[in-house]
Amino acid sequence: MIEQSENELRAMIMLLEDPDEVIFDEIRSKLLDMGAPAIPALENVWESTFNPGLQSKIEDIIQHIQFNNVKDELRLWADSGGTDLLAGTLLIARYQYPDLDEEEVRKQIEIIKKDIWIELNPNLTAFEKINVINHVLFDVYHFTGNTTNYHAPQNSYINNVLESKRGNPLLLSILYSCIAQGLNIPVFGVNLPEHFILAYVDEYQRKRSEDEEESILFYINPFSRGAVFSRREIDIFLQQLNLEPRRMFYESCPNTEIIKRQLRNLIASYEKLGYPEKVAHLTELLDILTYHAGS
């Protein structure tokens, strides 16, 4: 689209006041096509007008532009393989918090990671490395599972978890694994039903064996302060749920599956709270991942 001057753009936005629905729809469509570059002008008009009807229309357009941006970036993230888990969960946070300072979130995580790195050394065993991570995350920073408000949507946004130090099993696991992988500690997500966990993978053994499960040294439960456990505990857990054991319950899963689970958690949270518009939006994001991740 040809760039427009600030005055021309402002004049176009003012046409949203026109009672003619055909004109309104045409202007709205043009602004949506412009995308993010139109937001500053929309915000300026919103601040300068005393017309609540126009303000409401502008808010709706801005929200649609921001949502479209999230959808476009989520498609790109999935198409690129979803290798950066933190980038994926930040995209979901941006749905709820369009003005999220992603660099600030990354900075907070880097500070935690550095505090862990200081206590690590090459001679530590896998179990000892996990003890260091657990000490810093749960004893120094006091991260904990939010048991009193387990289903709150705030537990599913990484920025909220960093601020409140509380989260659900999935988001605590995302934070844990992002930090561990950033320190070259091979900790990956496991899509266990009802309770997301992590696995410590022996990378050398994984390269030698076609069976990934053979390369898993142990499992980690960040929701229980990083408790370490074995396959046997998963067997018992599945029996309690009356579920047959499946390979996917024991092996690491792709990052796209982790973000899909995050979206399902949020959909369930907003359904309980009665926010059908958010449920519809998040379902649309889930559909994007389902299609682009090929699952």
Within this chain, do residues 46 and 172 fall inside the same structural domain, yes or no?
no
Within this chain, do residues 92 and 56 fall inside the same structural domain, yes or no?
no
Q: pLDDT-derived band of residue 1, with 50, 70 and 90 as boundaries? A: very low
Q: pLDDT-derived band of residue 197, with 50, 70 and 90 as boundaries? A: very high
Taking the CB of residue 53, how many other CB atoms lie within 10 A of it? 10
Within this chain, do residues 286 and 204 fall inside the same structural domain, yes or no?
yes
Retrieve residue 250's tokens.
């024991």
Across the range 184-198, mean pLDDT stands at: 96
Within this chain, do residues 225 and 138 fall inside the same structural domain, yes or no?
yes
Provide the number of structural domains found in the chain: 2
Q: Which of 79, 111, 136 is the last residue of a domain?
A: 79
Q: Mind listing the pLDDT tens digit for each residue in 58-70?
A: 999 999 999 999 9
Q: Which of 18, 44, 79 is the last residue of a domain?
A: 79
What is the spatial distance between Cα 75 and Cα 69, in angstroms, rounded to a whole number? 10
What is the spatial distance between Cα 222 and Cα 237, in angstroms, rounded to a whole number? 16
Q: Mind listing the pLDDT tens digit for each residue in 147-157?
A: 989 899 999 99
Handedness of CA 41, 72, 3, 8 (dihedral sign): negative
Within this chain, do residues 179 and 50 fall inside the same structural domain, yes or no?
no
Q: Which of 79, 106, 122 is the last residue of a domain?
A: 79
Would residue 1 count as lying in a domain?
no
Would residue 45 count as lying in a domain?
yes
pLDDT value of position 52: 92
pLDDT value of position 206: 58
What is the spatial distance between Cα 144 and Cα 230, in angstroms, rounded to a whole number? 22
Q: pLDDT-derived band of residue 205, with 50, 70 and 90 as boundaries? A: low
Retrieve residue 45's tokens.
């008009």
Residues 6 or more apart in contact with residue 119 via CB below 8 angstroms: 132, 135, 136
Write out the H or E segment, with its range, that includes residue 137.
Answer: none
Average pLDDT taken over every residue of the chain: 92
Domain that holds residue 126: 85-292
Taking the CB of residue 221, how many other CB atoms lie within 10 A of it? 21
Write out the H or E segment, with its range, that includes residue 218.
Answer: strand 216-221
pLDDT value of position 291: 85
Residue among 95, 75, 94, 84 at smallest CA distance from 293: 75
What is the spatial distance between Cα 25 and Cα 20, in angstroms, rounded to a whole number? 9
Within this chain, do residues 62 and 182 fall inside the same structural domain, yes or no?
no
Main-chain dihedrals φ then ψ at residue 201, nearest 5 degrees? -105, 130
What is the spatial distance between Cα 256 and Cα 54, in angstroms, rounded to a whole number? 39
